Amino acid sequence: MTNYLLLTYDSCRYDVLVAAQTPVLDSYARIYAAQAPGNFTFASHQAFFVGILPNALEDIPFLNRFNKQLWGLQEVGERQVAKESLIRVESSWNLVDGLRQQGFQTVGAGAMNWFRQASLTAGFAHFLFTGRNADRQVEYLRSTIDPRGRFFGFINFGETHAPYRFRGSEAICPDDVRARRMSWPPVERGPTGRETKAFQFQLAAAEFLDQQLAALFAGLPGETVVVVTADHGDCFGEDGYWGHGVNHPKVLEVPLAIFRLDRKPL
């Protein structure tokens, strides 16, 4: 009986998560660089919920869906790719709805305001909009999911989204990461990437989220397949770009890890 858990670190850059101290995640899997299917929260999650996860640059099954896809939505979407999926479902709506029709518990929690939209939460039998509150999200999934039955769990963590606030943090990031701050055409000025305060603030938020994984995983069946990824990254001044919602390489490059909780191969 295979279960599934999708965790998205909103706005988290690949280079940030790799640089962060993440002992819990590292104990399960390597973090790969992947290409996000969208450049903002709504678009990427709509893709995730039809089985199109970020695509790793390396030719590895499940991490690169053109080798083998993790979840497939039959009859609609990418039919030739979906047929090689670990699990295939049928639904005229999305993957989550199809899993629910197959008897899976579908439980989710979202931080970003996009998760106030029914078009993202449809298919979930239970969904909680929390804002940035990883503790509440973890507790909600743990208290709502019955580990004795099949489940698809989902959390959109918001701590890695600007302004990078999390429990116990008091400092305020001095960098305005919002895309709206850009001039047009963008002009690069000052520190960028790793040299910005934003990089360090997002890194601290990612390290905080790693601490939440142990509590989330505790008590879940070993045959649970976990996906840890981001919906998009953020620009930190590269080429004059800030934030997301634009097709810059740093926006489209995201981390991706897929593993079983019992550490067995998929």
Pairing of strands 126-129, 105-110: parallel
Indicate whether 113 belongs to any domain. yes
Q: Is the pTM of this model over 0.95?
A: yes
DSSP string over 150-167 = -EEEEEEE-TTSTT---T
- Terminal alpha carbon distance of the chain: 13
- 122 vs 30, residue with greater confidence: 30
Between 4 and 122, name the one with better pLDDT.
4
- Bridge partners of 35? 55, 253
Q: Is residue 166 part of a domain?
A: yes
Average pLDDT for residues 214-220, to the nearest whole number? 96
**What's residue 85's pLDDT?**
86
pLDDT score at 79: 63
Alpha helices in 188-264 (DSSP H): 197-217, 249-252
265 in any annotated domain: no
Q: What's the domain count of the chain?
A: 1
How confident is the model over 19-23, as a mean pLDDT? 98
Distance CA 190, CA 204 (A): 22
**Is 165's pLDDT higher than 70?**
yes
DSSP 68: -
Expressed as residue numbers, the domain containing 14 is: 3-260
In a domain, 266, yes or no: no
- Which of 174, 179, 165 is CA-nearest to residue 237? 179
Tell me the pLDDT of the chain averaged across its residues. 95
Each residue of 59-104: pLDDT tens digit? Answer: 999 999 989 999 988 877 666 666 678 888 888 899 999 999 999 9
Beta strands 151-157; 105-110: pairing state: parallel
For β-strands 224-229 and 151-157, DSSP reports them as unpaired
pLDDT in tens, 109-145: 999 999 999 999 999 999 999 999 999 999 999 999 9
Position 27 scores a pLDDT of: 98
Determine the pLDDT at residue 247: 96
CATH number of domain containing 47: 3.40.720.10
Per-residue pLDDT averaged across 48-67, rounded? 94
